Amino acid sequence: MGEPLPDGIVAVVKADCPTCRLVTPVLAELRTAGLALTVYSQDDPAFPEGLDAVDDTGLDVSVALDLDTVPTLVKVEGGEEVDRLVGWSRPAWEKFTGIEGLGDGLPEHRPGCGALNCDPAVIERLAARSTGLRSRRLELARLEDEAEAFFERGWTDGLPVVPPTPARVLRMLEGTTRAADEVVAVVGPDFADCTVEKAAVNAVMAGCRPEYFPVVLAAVEAACTDEFNMHGLLCTTWFTGPVIVVNGPIATGIGMNSGVNALGQGNRANATIGRALQLIVRNVGGGRPGEIDRATLGGPGKYTFCFAEDEAGSPWEPLSVERGFAPGTSTVTLFAGEGPNGMCDQKSRDPESLARSMAWALDAVWHPKLALITDAMLVVSPEHGRVFREAGWSKARLRQRLIELGTKPLAEIAAGAGGCAEGMAVGPGGVKSAFGASAGEAGAGTDPAEIRIPKFAPDGLLIVHAGGRAGLFSAVIGGWARGAIGSSPVTREVTA
């Protein structure tokens, strides 16, 4: 509040309060009696009529006085409050003002109403006015449609977004203890600083709840590492985008789906966390399709691809523990993956048979004749997981068997073999794919007939447990180029 309160009696009222309307004649009596009375109106400067109310629709005075009820009478001496009274009570008002016989014909008592500055929607508006949010404000014309405005400015992923009003952004920021101006990451291709506030703006647009926000921040941090290489992932003509796997208590705490339809639609947390990351890459980093994003076909996972691992029902340790985090730690793991490819085996009841089915499904990643150029994620469903649990197979044993089963003679997968020009090649530099990605030095100076090449490196096959309890189906999520020429999975802890 800029100016000090005037000495005398200050009354704060609002036209939308029945008790304030009831005491209007009493306020007139006080003015007639010569009392130094100043009336502030919260919602209508013309109310109360004839009392020359001071306009407090901006609520500066109400906030400064920390009102919770109207009408409120405040006694001011030397610009400072010395006493106050709320509601209407004839005896209390007479004692407070020193004037007898007030409100003849009025009820003896009436409670007041909630002050306008205590209305939840108004609280958010007032907070937004004073928080110092730094993001540029967009002023829309009176007849401009909000949804269309975001489409026209290129700030959406092709679907409508939630307008990020200051109040909504502030609510999102309540989901973290991190400072709004803290830089979370530098986002390519524009290499722009993504502050916590900028991330919150896009999380609002994506439809996130504040409790999801720490997961979004961890995902942004993981995506913008050199290892994950989000910039390169944008530039590739391949189908891939960031796949987010969430582990730990945060997943159940925010209601993420790890069960029925875990990789599909219908769960707000799954859908909006992945979407928030994609919007941040687009709106902060400048990663837009047709510009830096050069995918030949792309895929629906580039809208959002986020799910939780079913740890409670898993026969194995969680992905996060495999990747070095203590049990019970909340994490996000980012994997550069394409859309899921279904894998069906409804007859195998022993782990060896089922592992062979899975190895054949994994064989199709990128191309059956290309090896060691990409990673993959195998999402094992509960019914398939039960086969391995009952047989006592660990995750490490399954992974090792899949790598063994996926290892083939170079003669079978060489370029030109089987009447197909695509495939691996061997030359002075070692074994390579037909488009030049190295598969190691195994072929240098070695008889190609004796060379055997695994489909995946031991660290290039992630295994996750998720899905509904019914259905003998699992899924393969193929990756992008691995290592220095592409992307490596990255795991980050989720912190408040």
pLDDT digits (tens, 9 = 90+) for 114-133: 999 898 878 767 766 656 67
180 close to 200: Cβ distance less than 8 angstroms: yes
Residue with tokens 């992932």: 233
| 441 — pLDDT class (breaks 50, 70, 90) | very low
**Over residues 315-331, mean pLDDT:** 98
Q: How open is the CA angle 70-71-77, to the nearest 5 degrees?
A: 110
What is the pTM assigned to this prediction? Answer: 0.78
| 389 — pLDDT class (breaks 50, 70, 90) | very high
Q: Give φ, ψ of 331 to 5 degrees.
A: -140, 165
* Average pLDDT score over the chain: 92
Parse the chain into domains and list their residue ranges.
8-118, 149-407+454-493
| 307 — pLDDT class (breaks 50, 70, 90) | very high
pLDDT digits (tens, 9 = 90+) for 356-376: 999 999 999 999 999 999 999
**Over residues 394-398, mean pLDDT:** 98
Phi-psi region of 264 (alpha: psi -120 to 50; beta: other; left: phi over 0): beta
34 close to 92: Cβ distance less than 8 angstroms: no
Which residues are within 8 A (CB) of 45 and not within 5 positions of it... i.e. 6 or more apart? 53, 54, 55, 57
- Asked whether residue 63 carries a pLDDT value surpassing 80, the answer given is yes
Q: How open is the CA angle 238-425-404, to the nearest 5 degrees?
A: 80
User: C-alpha distances in angstroms, 394 versus 315, 360, 382, 404?
Assistant: 8, 20, 15, 15
Looking at the DSSP bridge assignments, the partners of residue 179 are none
**Over residues 56-85, mean pLDDT:** 93
- Asked whether residue 1 carries a pLDDT value surpassing 60, the answer given is no
pLDDT, residue 431, reads: 67
**Over residues 10-23, mean pLDDT:** 96
pLDDT, residue 166, reads: 87
Distance CA 447, CA 457 (A): 22
In sequence order, which ranges of 284-343 are alpha helices (DSSP H)? 319-322
- Asked whether residue 445 carries a pLDDT value surpassing 60, the answer given is no
Q: Higher confidence at residue 290 or residue 353?
A: 353
Among the listed ranges 26-30, 174-178, 214-218, 428-432, which one has the minimum average pLDDT value? 428-432
Q: What fold is seen in the domain 8-118?
A: Glutaredoxin (3.40.30)
**Over residues 303-319, mean pLDDT:** 98
Maximum CA extent, the chain: 113
pLDDT, residue 444, reads: 43
pLDDT digits (tens, 9 = 90+) for 243-256: 999 999 999 999 99
| 443 — pLDDT class (breaks 50, 70, 90) | very low
Tokens of 16: 């939308």
pLDDT, residue 262, reads: 97
pLDDT, residue 80, reads: 92
